[in-house]
Chains A and B, each alone.
Chain A
Amino acid sequence: MIEAPDLSLSALSPFLFVFGAALVGVLVESFAPRHVRQPTQVALALVGTVGGFACTLLLAGRGEVTAAGALAVDGAGLFLQATIAGLGALSVLLFAERALDPARSAFVASAAVPAGSPRDRELLTDERVQTEVYPLATFAVGGMMLFVAANDLLVMFIALEVLSLPLYLICGLSRRRRLLSQEAAVKYFLLGAFASAFFLYGLALVYGATGTVQLAGIRQSVTDDGTGTLLVLGLGLLVVGLMFKASVAPFHTWTPDVYQGAPTPVTAFMAACTKVAAFGAILRLLYVAFGTADWTWRPLVYGIAIVSMVVGAVLGLTQTDVKRMLAYSSIAHAGFLLTGVIGLDAGTGSGLAATLFYLLAYGLTTVGAFAVVTLVRDGDGEATALAQWAGLARRSPLTAAIMTFLLLALAGIPLTSGFTGKFAVFRAAIEVGAWPLAVVALVTSAVAGFFYLRLVVLMYFSEPAEDGPSVGVPGLPTTIVLAVTVAATLVLGVVPGSVLDLADGAARLVG
């Protein structure tokens, strides 16, 4: 007789909403006529993500472990789930933009047609659109939300795959520069598989050492028996797998290539949501499972944070492509986020709240920045070469102003959310005595600030090129995204109090 595990349906409601919407999306894709698919799919994806967002809000304040110990419902998890769902909804809006590309979509009409073939050229200008991206993205959002709630290494692994597989696919769906896009997808898939293998191997080692895959069980085992070689090696491999997803150096190599090749709305989605999900899992693994043995991993994370900040900031200096530059910025920000992880200390540190706030602020700003990238276009689609952005402020002062503001936020200038976030994580690191890390973080912030400001200078003080790009007039979806992200970046910078309090109240991990 097998007992049914306890299952709190209300605690599962965010997942049910998102995955439900995704499944219905698959059915719509199969049975609905072509002309109604796009609006239906967009609506479904929005219902799923916004519904998931609403469900997490309703769950606020809960703290329990459910589904036979496989899922944790706690403040930090819910905050991250809400962040992922919200950023996911914004990304879906970017996917749905129809006004910018002459062919009405950033996604290829038929992904199976070989790139560069006559059929492909025909389809390039066709108004047919690929609508599989919506259920795929919704699945990815669901996987990410599960990822940050997983209280069991196996569930975490499944969530990792659920979020990764759709991403590999939609990375290859760009309508323009298809070879680059497909190359990115294959690279991401291969390296992602490699990273998954690390994670799985680490899982196996941990199971071998402790006899359990549940985080609470591992914690118990670590507390009782200490750390053996097997367990430590397992921890290392798990960390490698997670750091890969979070694009932390030295596991970042895929990031620039994939960010550049993927369709820009997908890049925005990856840069924002995947980062949040990966850091959620990192926090849970390190603090719930290995929190009592933090002396083992603390020096490691310390070193990785420095490497990531330095690599991101220094390599960003010589980039000539806006999307690649933002990719290196993402790597540097991963390092800044790790300072917050270091600053998390049982009892004293404010690192958890700081990291949560940083993830929210960074995600919003990044989605906004990539949304601006989708606006600047020439005959071949998006104009992402830095040189093409010269003098943009003359062509479109508003676009340049929005981009400038978002770049300043990424650089961490006061009165933007970036400053509040950086201040919070650096302070958390200093509180636990990691001030050398904070010093490195400040120096690398300054170095990274250089390449953000270089783009600002380029936009405002350079002569526009003769055949420069034009700035598209966005439709309603992108306009909403820009308005929300800019407003949030400003509000979180000027009056961050209430959101900081919210993050502070949510800063709790059960398990």
Chain B
Amino acid sequence: MDTVPATGLLASSWLLIALPLAGAAVLLLGGRRTDRWGHLLAIGTVTAAFVLAVLSTVELAGLDERSVGVDLFTFISTGRLDVGAGLLVDPLSMTFALLITGVGALIHVYSVGYMAHDPGRRRFFAYLNLFVAAMLLLVLGDSFVALYVGWEGVGLASYLLIAFWYTRPAAATAAKKAFVMNRVGDVGLALAIFLMFTQLGTTSYEGVFGSVGLLAGGTVTGIGLLLLLGACGKSGQFPLQAWLPDAMEGPTPVSALIHAATMVTAGVYLIARSAPLFDAAPVAQTVVVVIGAVTIMIGAVAGCAYDDIKKVLAWSTVSQIGYMFLAVGLGPVGYAAGIAHLLTHGFFKAGLFLGAGSVMHGMGDRTDMRRFGGLATRMRTTFVTFGLGYLALIGFPFLSGYWTKDAIIEAAFDRGGTSGWVLGGVAVLGAGLTAFYMTRLVLLTFFGEPRWEDGVHPHESPAVMTLPMVVLAVGSVGAGFLLVEAFPLADWLAPVFGEPEEATAHAIPPLAVSVLVTVVVALGVLTAWLLVGRREVPTTAPARVSAPVRAARAGLYADAVNEAVFMRPGIRLVRALRVVDDKGVDGVVNGIGAGLGGSSARLGRAQTGFVRSYALGMLGGAVLVAGALLAVTAG
């Protein structure tokens, strides 16, 4: 695939990044003066970026070579290292740009209502703009270094936004946790980039992918696994999944935009973008698939046990991103399917989070579903939009999730052999569990008797909030059909991933898969209704529960494992290192210092102040000089 220089509108695609960045700069530097109109500016920049992205996409679609490079400037140029900053406009990056700016703009609008009474609203919009800019850089950059800069940028924005209410200890702790766990992943990404530098001398996509064949197999696998580590950190995949549910301490629009629709899918983007690398490293691909499958189960099981509406949605996100990892790990058959699910997920999960935010807004910022109930009549728009998102997520026939999730499950079965059956089975089971916990969530929140606390008066949210929810709900309903059947995403992405292959032999006929999944989903819904919908819901969670439920409530003990395996040994290691540092390193340093000081004092005694001894010293020196010269000439 050749990249051609940008012309026309595409040459100014740097504006996509510059617009929200300028917005963030104005809001952060402008201070209180911008309080009154700051949020409007923020919406304006993101909307303008969205319009630009749409126009660029139209122009890109009209080109023969649908891969356009935009050179910006030389970033680092020293010796063999030459890092240029440039953008790569191709179907994959523009797809993401549309998602980011589109959903981003909607969530900006929603936030105007959600954050209306927050004194830090200007700061909030500044961070949101900053996030959009960094995320666009991440997907539009034409090299791994550019991606890394954006990667760290979204990490920063995510950290700032999780800790937006930094006076709450839980928010501060959650932000720190997210930061640390992301750092683990970032180290992997950084090491992968260093490996590319040393092995290939370049980090541009074009350069790296063009010379994958020159690398030893082990090196490619190493780079792939390191990239995967980075992807796991950012996307909340096993074993770095524990930060994502805690990140729900941030304001809900943040959860919708960053921790559901866009940033957490950056890992999927990274793997899809690095497709030529992973295609050459089957071992790394297998690991991707396994991690995806494991994460599907962890997210789905944990999602069943939580009572906090946002945490359930967060675990659901973890689980759904597991599907995407599974898809992109399957290789060429799965890339387009994974990206398609990512897009539809962006719609319905963002919609679900906005709905949850709307519920919280009406319930005085409470998140405990055991104290909800019966909200369907009080918050009609929220209920309808949330319901559509719910149906899309569980894969109700002909809504978005049905198309995209089924495609992934199908591809998993098509892998063939035992592994295909295992992966397919896990994916189907995950779909059933998803149906269970989501039905439980809807039943607890919108149906049954009201279990509200005193002083809570649920009410529908203002139009500025419901309107984005409606738009997202429409997307949740129609996006899947559009992307899979009407205008297949696989064709649009063909310049990046190659022409989609028509699978000739299916392990199971597609229709059978659809029926199987639908039946399993129906079973999940039914179980939820039997266990939750028909019974009285206790307002506090029962304490005496079986071991599996306890495990699920603890997020399958991820935190405990982290503490036992990493934190405590880490603390012990640090203590030991401190002892070594105090006794050993400091000892050596102080010893050198004392040695030098002592010899200095001893040598200093020669400085007697007497001219006679100075003259003697000079004479001695002169004798040495003469002797040395004679020795050299004689020898």
Residues of A within 8 A of B (CB): 186-187, 190-191, 194-195, 198, 227, 229, 232-233, 235-237, 239-240, 244, 250-251, 253-254, 256-257, 295-297, 299-300, 303-304, 311, 314-318, 447, 450
**A450 CA to B590 CA, complexed, in Å:** 13
Beyond A315-B604, A315-B607, is A233–B629 a contact (Cβ under 8 Å)? yes
**A187 CA to B624 CA, complexed, in Å:** 23
Which size bracket describes the interface of B in this complex? Answer: 20 to 34
B617–A314 touching, CB < 8 Å: no
Name A191's contact: one of B603, B615, B624 (CB within 8 Å): B615
- What chain B residues lie within 8 Å of A311 (beta carbons)? 603
**A187 CA to B604 CA, complexed, in Å:** 18
Name A250's contact: one of B593, B615, B618 (CB within 8 Å): B618
A187–B611 touching, CB < 8 Å: yes
A237–B603 touching, CB < 8 Å: no
Q: In whole Å, how far is B487's beta carbon from the nearest beta carbon of chain A? A: 57
- What chain B residues lie within 8 Å of A244 (beta carbons)? 618
- What chain B residues lie within 8 Å of A198 (beta carbons)? 618, 622
Q: In whole Å, how far is A432's beta carbon from the nearest beta carbon of chain B? A: 17
A190–B611 touching, CB < 8 Å: yes
B601–A254 touching, CB < 8 Å: no
Q: In whole Å, how far is B598's beta carbon from the nearest beta carbon of chain A? A: 9
**B621-635, CB under 8 A of A: which get 1 and which 0?**
110111011101100
A257–B609 touching, CB < 8 Å: yes
B55 interface residue, CB < 8 Å from A?
A: no
Beyond A315-B604, A315-B607, A318-B604, is A194–B615 a contact (Cβ under 8 Å)? yes
A240–B618 touching, CB < 8 Å: yes
B597–A317 touching, CB < 8 Å: yes
Name A256's contact: one of B607, B621, B624, B630 (CB within 8 Å): B607
Interface centre among B613, B622, B630 (most CB of A within 10 A): B622
Residues of B within 8 A of A (CB): 593, 596-597, 599-601, 603-604, 606-607, 609, 611, 613-615, 617-618, 620-622, 624-626, 628-630, 632-633
**A295 CA to B633 CA, complexed, in Å:** 8
B614–A191 touching, CB < 8 Å: yes
Beyond A187-B611, A314-B596, A314-B599, is A251–B618 a contact (Cβ under 8 Å)? yes
- What chain A residues lie within 8 Å of B625 (beta carbons)? 236-237, 239-240, 300, 304
A300–B609 touching, CB < 8 Å: no
Q: In whole Å, how far is B611's beta carbon from the nearest beta carbon of chain A? A: 5
A233–B626 touching, CB < 8 Å: yes
**A297 CA to B629 CA, complexed, in Å:** 7
- What chain B residues lie within 8 Å of A253 (beta carbons)? 606-607, 613-614, 617-618
A236–B618 touching, CB < 8 Å: no
B628–A299 touching, CB < 8 Å: yes
Q: In whole Å, how far is A422's beta carbon from the nearest beta carbon of chain B? A: 20
**A227 CA to B596 CA, complexed, in Å:** 40
Q: Beyond the given A195-B618, A227-B633, A256-B607, could you list 10 further A-B residue pairs with CB under 8 A, ordered by the A residue number?
A: A186-B611, A190-B611, A198-B622, A233-B626, A233-B630, A236-B622, A244-B618, A295-B632, A303-B628, A317-B596
- The residue of chain A having its C-beta at the shortest distance from the C-beta of B625 within the complex is A236
Q: In whole Å, how far is A298's beta carbon from the nearest beta carbon of chain B? A: 8
- The residue of chain A having its C-beta at the shortest distance from the C-beta of B633 within the complex is A232
Q: In whole Å, how far is B633's beta carbon from the nearest beta carbon of chain A? A: 5
Q: In whole Å, how far is A218's beta carbon from the nearest beta carbon of chain B? A: 15
Task: Please give me the 10 A-B residue pairs with the lowest Cβ-Cβ distance, nearest first.
Answer: A250-B621, A253-B614, A318-B600, A317-B600, A236-B626, A236-B625, A240-B622, A236-B629, A232-B629, A314-B600
- What chain A residues lie within 8 Å of B633 (beta carbons)? 227, 229, 232, 296
- The residue of chain A having its C-beta at the shortest distance from the C-beta of B614 within the complex is A253
**A121 CA to B161 CA, complexed, in Å:** 74
**A186 CA to B610 CA, complexed, in Å:** 11
A-B contact pairs, 15 of them (CB 8 A): A191-B615, A232-B630, A236-B626, A237-B625, A240-B625, A253-B613, A295-B632, A296-B632, A296-B633, A297-B629, A299-B628, A314-B596, A318-B600, A318-B604, A450-B593
**A449 CA to B615 CA, complexed, in Å:** 30
- What chain A residues lie within 8 Å of B614 (beta carbons)? 187, 191, 253-254
B618–A296 touching, CB < 8 Å: no
Q: In whole Å, how far is A357's beta carbon from the nearest beta carbon of chain B? A: 22
**A504 CA to B467 CA, complexed, in Å:** 71
- The residue of chain B having its C-beta at the shortest distance from the C-beta of A314 within the complex is B600
**A253 CA to B616 CA, complexed, in Å:** 10
**A14 CA to B600 CA, complexed, in Å:** 43
Beyond A190-B611, A191-B618, A194-B618, is A300–B601 a contact (Cβ under 8 Å)? no
**A300 CA to B607 CA, complexed, in Å:** 24
A318–B597 touching, CB < 8 Å: yes
B601–A318 touching, CB < 8 Å: yes
Name A296's contact: one of B597, B604, B629 (CB within 8 Å): B629
**A299 CA to B629 CA, complexed, in Å:** 8
**A190 CA to B610 CA, complexed, in Å:** 11
